[in-house]
Structure 1
Amino acid sequence: MADLKETPKSAGGAQVFNLADFRKNPKATRKPSAEETLRNHTRVFDLLAQHILACARLIATLDEPGGQHG
């Protein structure tokens, strides 16, 4: 197995891979478990739902008659 150094994580929790290392050994990455995949999908859908609600609130605020949007 390849020498896997500690990989930095971005704010979203996704792993960052060195592209050169990946090309040398494409099997260096592991397949996430079903539980991890479900957790990631749940997190993504939750963030998407929050974004849609925030957009709906913004549209409702902008549609208010006489409102100051300044």
Structure 2
Amino acid sequence: MRIRVAGELCMGHGLCAMRAPEVFELSELGTNEMAEFEVPAGLAEQARGGVLACPEQIISIIEDAPAS
């Protein structure tokens, strides 16, 4: 699972990092500028909570393709 953040649209509410501190990091300005990254193993549910917490809805989940 990967996460994509439209960081240029981040307003700095910080709710993603409050909900999922092990997944999301904020800049010194309090904004999320992480762009796209792999979610650490075992933190998928936390990551989903952080995505849902974003009031700007600028964070999206990219699911891994199923193995064939």
By relative contact order (CA 8 Å, sep 6+), the higher-ranking structure is 2
Q: Which has the larger radius of gyration?
A: 1
Quick check: which one's helix share is greater?
1
Q: TM-score, normalised by structure 2?
A: 0.26
TM value normalised by structure 1: 0.26
